[in-house]
Amino acid sequence: MQIVNYILDNFVMLFELLGLTVLLHISVHLNSKLKFNVRFVVILIFIISIVSYVELHIRDDAGMALTRHFLTALKYTLYPILIISLLPISYPYKKKMPAIFITLILLPEIISIPFYMSSQWTHLIYYIGQSDVNYYVAGPLQYWPYFIFFFYMIIFIVFNILRLKKFSMINQRISLFIILGATAGIILYLIYEREEDYTPVVTAALILYFIFLYIHLACKDALTGLLNRQYYYKDMKENVYAVISIDMNDLKYINDTFGHDVGDLGLVKMSEIIMSQLNHKMRAYRVGGDEFIIFFFYPVSEKEIVNKIEKMKNMLKGTQNSYAFGYSIKRDDIKIDKMIEDADFKMYQDKSEYKRIRNSVAASMVRR
């Protein structure tokens, strides 16, 4: 009967977790590592909800005092682990977390677990004062579990802020809304002393975050990580102040001679260089096989654009790839189509100059 009551009391949350599991199975935009992390979080939420439910329903049973103590200790242990398991999703760098960094992150949780488990006897955090009444007495470190939980919440929020620095403003706002909304819900639970089961709040935030992440990834080009053509068409309707057009030189020759993998590496390298020059008021798109576009959504000078192009060209010098660049700045009532056309025209002029120099060098070598 308790199982039925648990399902009825938590049906919405369980339905959401099951739905998220199904969505993970059919997702094509999420990589296997990200799917594994989300599945692990789903399992943790399910376990925490069971622990919280059982702990709540044995509070009035004096004979279950020791069981309640261990369930409470387990709950205090699992909530930080839940936040820690979300960190790889929000880690802002492409490289793996350094081992020393992981150790420092885990250290507060590792130190805290023995205190939770032994608190019934040390009386440091909480303990059951009377054997015939299954109620807690607060110890001198009663707020330590909450301090640890919010310590990891702050780390999680900081990670997301760092990760979102290169995102558009709307994506930053959506992600922060989800994170801060869930945090506010948990704080309200604490202030009004509601039952300490935050799993419905965390589950709702996880569902929203998954939907946001999936939509965000669906707007990206799978190879380069830049925004795709669909997002490019959408952004053409916004107020664009400048355009940079970029095209790879000799991609067909590279693909035919060295293979498509080598050509793809050149495209990926260019996308990394482009992303290094972006801020949250700029967006970059892969609009064709070897064609890239950058939009500026703020007034920008010609000098700033030229400087960015020169920086990208300098970063390409250490590679075997060559790219042509062109740009256009909004003047008077010029429309976006005309700006893109002007940027493409300059880019093709740059490409023609590259071919002229290449052919001239090849001809001189033949004459020798």
Q: What is the DSSP code (8-state) at residue 227?
A: B
Say whether both 143 and 83 belong to one domain.
Answer: yes
User: Which pLDDT belongs to residue 165?
Assistant: 66
250 and 105 within one domain: no
| Residue 184 in domain | yes
Average pLDDT over residues 183-212: 79
Q: Is residue 296 part of a domain?
A: yes
Domain-embedded: residue 223: no
Q: Which amino acid is located at 96 in the chain? A: K
Name the residue with tokens 């006897």. Answer: 121
- Do 213 and 263 lie in a common domain? no
In this structure, the answer to whether residues 125 and 177 fall within a common structural domain is yes
* In a domain? residue 89: yes
Range of the domain at 297: 229-367
Specify whether 260 is located in the same domain as 341.
yes
Which among 218, 252, 277 is the end of a domain?
218
First to last CA, the chain: 93
In a domain, 152, yes or no: yes
Q: Are 162 and 264 in a shared domain?
A: no
- Last residue of some domain: 194, 218, 242? 218
The per-residue pLDDT for range 153-178, each reduced to its tens digit, is 888 888 877 776 656 667 777 877 88
Residue 330 has pLDDT above 80, yes or no: yes
Residue 294 has pLDDT above 60, yes or no: yes
User: From CA 156, how far away is CA 206, in angstroms rounded?
Assistant: 13
Spatial separation of the C-alpha atoms in residues 32 and 38, rounded to whole Å:
10
Question: What pLDDT is attached to residue 240?
Answer: 93
User: Do 206 and 126 reside in the same domain of the chain?
Assistant: yes
Q: What is the band of 180 on the pLDDT scale with cuts at 50, 70, 90?
A: confident
Mean pLDDT of 197-217: 81
Look at residue 83 and tell me if it is in a domain. Answer: yes
pLDDT at 155: 86
DSSP of 341-354, one letter per residue?
Answer: HHHHHHHHHHHHHH
pLDDT of residue 172: 75
Confidence of residue 365 (pLDDT cuts 50, 70, 90): low
- Higher pLDDT residue, 327 or 93? 327
CA angle 26, 183, 143 (to 5 degrees): 125
User: What CATH number has the domain bearing residue 334?
Assistant: 3.30.70.270
Same domain, 62 and 115: yes
Does the predicted model carry a pTM greater than 0.85? no
238 shares a domain with 183? no
The pLDDT score that the predictor gives to residue 246 is 94
User: Which alpha helices (H) appear in the chain, and where do they start and end?
Assistant: 2-9, 11-26, 32-57, 65-90, 99-122, 144-163, 169-191, 199-218, 229-235, 251-258, 260-276, 302-316, 336-367
Single out the residue in 188, 218, 248 at which a domain terminates.
Answer: 218
What pLDDT does 43 receive? 93
CA-closest candidate to residue 275, choices 237, 342, 220: 220
Residue 303 has pLDDT above 90, yes or no: yes
214 and 255 part of one domain:
no
The residue length of the chain stands at 368
**Are residues 363 and 340 part of one domain?**
yes
pLDDT tens digit string along 219-264?
Answer: 888 888 899 998 899 899 889 999 999 998 888 778 878 888 888 8
Asked whether residue 140 is assigned to any structural domain, the reply reads: yes
For 95-129, the pLDDT digits (tens) are 677 788 888 889 999 999 999 999 989 999 988 87
Question: Cβ(148)–Cβ(164) under 8 Å?
Answer: no
The answer to whether residues 179 and 234 belong to one domain is no
Distance (Å, whole) CA 139 – CA 149? 18
Residue 224 placed within a domain: no
**Residue 193 binned pLDDT confidence (cut-offs 50, 70, 90):** low
> Could you give the number of structural domains in the chain?
2
Task: Give percent of the chain with pLDDT exceeding 90.
Answer: 32
Question: Does 367 score more than 70 pLDDT?
Answer: no
Residue pointed to by tokens 């939009």: 295
Q: What is the pLDDT of residues 18-38, one digit of tens each?
A: 998 888 888 777 778 878 888
pLDDT at res. 121: 92
